[in-house]
Amino acid sequence: MTAKQEALTEAARLRDIAMAIIVTHVLLVMLLAYLLVYQILNPLRALLLETGRSDPVEVSGDVVQTLSQSVRGLIEDVGQTQVALEKSRENLLHSEKMAMVGKLAAGMAHSVRNPFTSVKMRLFSLSRSLKLSGTQKEDFDVISEEIDHIDTIVQNFLEFSRPPRLKMQAVSPSTVVDTAVKLLCYRLDSYNVKATIHRDRELPAVNADPDQFKEVLVNLVVNACEAMTGGGAIDIHERVLQTSTDRQQAEIRITDDGPGIPPAAVKKVFDPFLHHQGRRHGAGVEHCLPNHPRAWGARRSHLGEGRGTTFTIVLPIIGGNL
């Protein structure tokens, strides 16, 4: 064999090897492409469709980019859900507390009302069998009246712990504010408090129970009056809120220029029957807000430190969440 022949044979072998490698590579590339499309891209697209369920996504573009956007959206959603969950857990805890108060109230009503009944019957017998003078007659009347008074307190306590049946209807918060302020005009005078309504135009209708809503406003205003010894001013601001999620909400802010709520009591404002230095502070707040969450689309409170207290009520406007 000559060296030339040897070289030719070697070249042919190399060519064969090269051909084999090329063919193998082509096959490998095809396999990889198949893997990419069917094992990665298609699942990615499916994932994308899953994650972007709320709004239709353009799948034809950069799949990975779109997917990462979707995932970011998902993470945000999870964050929001967590906040909502936390809130609902708080509500649940509160409901549990209320249920306990209800049980206590019912038990108390039963134990208190039986003795009341006996007392009333004995009084009736006594007043019938005795020849009473004018003042003695008055004594009897006062005792009877006061027993009825105590019973009313028991009844209120019972009702407080039992959420009322709500009569929901479309109503403008402005109408309710007007009714509440009108109702309170004499009381405001007696506390030497001036209430001012700040309103550009009537707020659009919200879904609420007008009576309960009025009760909330009355309680907030009366609480403010009681906190401002020697008089003061209450400002009621009304406006429409445009939230980031394109939701329209009606906001009513009630601000007083009283001493404010002591920091230690702030957390307890929504607890039932809060007394601060002998004065009811939170009872009225509690009386209608968290107790009847169904009446409220939302609630929020800004508690001023030092001077003044502001309570903010936020309710979703009907047809305003588009």
Nearer to another protein by Cβ, of 41 and 109: the residue is: 109
Residue 152 interacting with another protein (CB under 8 A): no
Instruction: Provide the minimum distance between the beta carbon of 111 and another protein in the complex, in angstroms, as a whole number.
Output: 8
Q: Per CB under 8 A, which region of 30-38, 57-65, 154-162, 291-299 contacts another protein?
A: 154-162
What lies within 8 Å, CB to CB, of 318 at 6+ separation is: 170, 204, 205, 206, 207
Tokens 């090329």, located at residue: 22
Measured CA to CA, the distance from residue 120 to residue 125 in angstroms comes to 9
Residue 42 interacting with another protein (CB under 8 A): no
With beta carbons less than 8 A apart as the criterion, state whether 272 and 101 touch: yes
Do β-strands 309-316 and 248-256 pair in parallel, antiparallel, or remain unpaired? Answer: antiparallel
Nearer to another protein by Cβ, of 129 and 244: the residue is: 129
Q: Which of 59, 158, 283, 298 binds another protein (CB under 8 A)?
A: 158
Measured CA to CA, the distance from residue 292 to residue 299 in angstroms comes to 11
Number of residues that bind another protein (CB under 8 A): 22
String of contacts with another protein for each residue 161-190, x by CB under 8 A: -x----------------------------
Measured CA to CA, the distance from residue 257 to residue 294 in angstroms comes to 30
- The pair phi, psi for residue 165, each rounded to 5°, is -75, 125
- The pair phi, psi for residue 264, each rounded to 5°, is -65, -25
Measured CA to CA, the distance from residue 261 to residue 302 in angstroms comes to 11
Instruction: Provide the minimum distance between the beta carbon of 248 and another protein in the complex, in angstroms, as a whole number.
Output: 39
Nearer to another protein by Cβ, of 73 and 164: the residue is: 164
Residue 242 interacting with another protein (CB under 8 A): no
Nearer to another protein by Cβ, of 112 and 314: the residue is: 112
Nearer to another protein by Cβ, of 132 and 147: the residue is: 147
Nearer to another protein by Cβ, of 33 and 142: the residue is: 142
Measured CA to CA, the distance from residue 306 to residue 287 in angstroms comes to 25
String of contacts with another protein for each residue 98-127, x by CB under 8 A: --------x--xx--xxxxxxxxxx-xx--
Within 13 Å and on the Cβ side, how many CA atoms surround 188? 19
Within 13 Å and on the Cβ side, how many CA atoms surround 38? 6
E strands, 137-259, are: 169-171, 193-198, 206-208, 232-242, 248-256
Residue 253 interacting with another protein (CB under 8 A): no
Instruction: Provide the minimum distance between the beta carbon of 119 and another protein in the complex, in angstroms, as a whole number.
Output: 8
String of contacts with another protein for each residue 56-95, x by CB under 8 A: ----------------------------------------
Instruction: Provide the minimum distance between the beta carbon of 113 and another protein in the complex, in angstroms, as a whole number.
Output: 4
> Under the rule (CB under 8 A), what is the footprint of another protein?
106, 109-110, 113-122, 124-125, 128, 147, 151, 155, 158-159, 162
